[in-house]
Structure 1
């Protein structure tokens, strides 16, 4: 089937299967950490702090990670990040297994995982182009990777819920530790022919400046990164308020909240499968525009929903729009960056995407506290639509300038 065509490449197939297991373990651990921290402390503030420290390193460290990855063998860096992630998971598992419930230590280990992810995510994304022999199949590989991530987002918490109720938190942490074994085995089985540039004589700070100049000089890359940055800061964090929608607005329970998560996951998987079917990367800018508009509009309809069924429907549409937006921007950056700058370009995408979300979560939490959750989501959707309109206007202006230049 064409939707799975990138799995014909041995290296990508190994990467796909290994990461599928590892990501389920990662989501199991995330769910168990949240449950454990709230069970022990009853503090929503500490719960938010754990999420914050696990993501904020991406905002600070991603450009540095991109420069490092462009200087050295990214395959070896990926192996190192996976080994260190396994050690972090093992430390957390040992902590819980021996019932040493030290909240500052759990927060510190979450911060360590966030630091690792700043390098790991950038490295994995920049290496993906090397796993697919025919570059026309790169959008399909990225979309399949997104599908895998979203399926893990659904399966991981569901599996964690069963393990938590039947055996306790330690099984979730041990499960995540063991999930790194298959991904490391798959990495060792790969046969990558990477062209590693001679070690640069420039300092890492000069490399950082070079990456910034490259990205800002390419207006196509810059506009895409700015759009995902605005979306991650003001729009994507709407999901932070879904427990309030489930419990207070629709008078539901934890099960109701799981329906909202599953609805978003379902929409994301449907969108990723559409992206996987793309035969070319020529229409990525148009897909980004349409997806961004759908995302913003569906949030407004979600905020106005009067019944749970209607809210879940629009939650599904938000997942569809959000995934198409992020996937198309990610694919554009990977396919339009020159090889020697790809790591740095992707690092700015990771910084704008993952790094902005924790700050956005704090902002939308404040907005919901001041104006109510429905208004906060309405504002998020409105900002999404305004950002889309600005992006479309800019692209139209650039295209008009190009036409004049050829006349």
Structure 2
């Protein structure tokens, strides 16, 4: 797509819509597990909740990507936000009227995540054309996108912890529902309908789905990234979905402290992302990616020492600097290698592959945390994470991330 003048308004409108929606998602990320812990006291049921949060993302990524390509990126984003807003609003609506059983909560959590995932994928697929309109390098756009994502944690996490203490867990979900409706409105008003040049398609849904999977299988670098991120996401799911909230409840006893730790993680990643946005295009991608990943995992060792909460917050802030470059590097690689007309199905398949082990991580994390306790779990997690991230330095295919092929040349 060619433009005669730079127009940054659509790109920054997308940034704003994402920020609002992501803050709402952070509210849910804290409110739902805390609600389950408060009402059941069970790490296992908290793990089950995480399972029903992540499984639909895998399903939506795998089966919904082709639908995104067919419907278009802007319409998919709007429809997804509206549907997610309605589903999220049903949680407090039922809770305050006829009551909410655990199984009903799981159904709503499942539907909310199922409907939210295609919208996130569609918004990501809009970025290259909006970046071109704004005259901004793709590395900077992906960095800013993920800075916004981390900033949502920085702002949303402590705010969620504070609001849970003031207005209650169920009421926080009303705010989450509102964020989806606002995001849909911004996309509808400020994002133009982009014309993506399409190649001839088969017209058959599952053949187009297979095209996306085939593309990943034939690209050694993207396949390697998907496999390694699948492994680290599995470990992150054990930590963030179960181990961290149980640890914080046992050791510090406050949802606000959980929010502050998540905010510190977001704050460090924001700083790391901003640094990468400024100098990332001059750094070797592979060395930066591996070094940042290893550094980000050091916080697990400090958790195992049971320090005062302020020490843990500071350490989390510092080590999370390593998280800043990770998603921007992955995003830049994807936009460089994936043809524009295939973004929906390939992004969806990548998301499904990267998230596929996370539901198992949630379930396994709940059972193991209840059986082994937080100390043994934290030591095991820290060791496994170090071995997994360090191994990326020795995978030949991952060294290809230093090269920059153009997506238009990839078939």
TM bin, normalised by shorter chain, reads 0.7 to 0.9
| Pair 1:372–1:87, CA change in 2 (3 A) | closer
SS of the equivalent of 1:277 reads helix
In structure 2, distance between residues paired with 1:377 and 1:165: 28
Partner of 1:70: 69
Gaps of 5+ in 1: 1-6, 403-407
85-94 or 358-367: which moved more? 358-367
In structure 1, distance between residues paired with 2:124 and 2:96: 33
Partner of 2:327: 326
Aligned residues: 392
In structure 2, distance between residues paired with 1:54 and 1:126: 23
RMSD: 3.1
In structure 1, distance between residues paired with 2:84 and 2:325: 29
Partner of 1:241: 243
> Could you report, residue by residue, the CA deviation over 1:198-229 in whole angstroms, capped at 9, with x for unpaired residues?
77334222112221111111111111111211
In structure 1, distance between residues paired with 2:380 and 2:323: 16
Matches within 5 A, 1:30-41: 30-41=29-40
CA contact (8 A) 1:57 1:355 kept: no
266-275 or 153-162: which moved more? 153-162
Partner of 1:155: 155
Give 1:187 shift: 1.0
> Could you report, residue by residue, the CA deviation over 1:144-175 in whole angstroms, capped at 9, with x for unpaired residues?
22222222223334333444443344532322
Partner of 2:359: 358
In structure 2, distance between residues paired with 1:57 and 1:356: 12
CA contact (8 A) 1:78 1:123 kept: yes
Partner of 1:126: 125
Partner of 2:142: 142
| Pair 1:17–1:226, CA change in 2 (3 A) | same
Gaps of 5+ in 2: 1-5, 404-411
Residue 112 in structure 1 maps to residue 101 in structure 2? no
Matches within 5 A, 1:284-295: 284-295=285-296
| Pair 1:397–1:228, CA change in 2 (3 A) | closer
Give 1:396 shift: 7.7
Partner of 2:408: none
In structure 1, distance between residues paired with 2:130 and 2:172: 31
> Could you report, residue by residue, the CA deviation over 1:112-149 in whole angstroms, capped at 9, with x for unpaired residues?
01211332222222222222116752222222222222
> Could you report, residue by residue, the CA deviation over 1:314-354 in whole angstroms, capped at 9, with x for unpaired residues?
32344333343234223322332222232233223322344
Partner of 1:46: 45
85-94 or 387-396: which moved more? 387-396
Partner of 2:176: 176
Partner of 2:284: 283
Partner of 1:13: 12
Partner of 1:3: none
Give 1:236 shift: 5.6
Residue 387 in structure 1 maps to residue 397 in structure 2? no
In structure 2, distance between residues paired with 1:100 and 1:306: 39
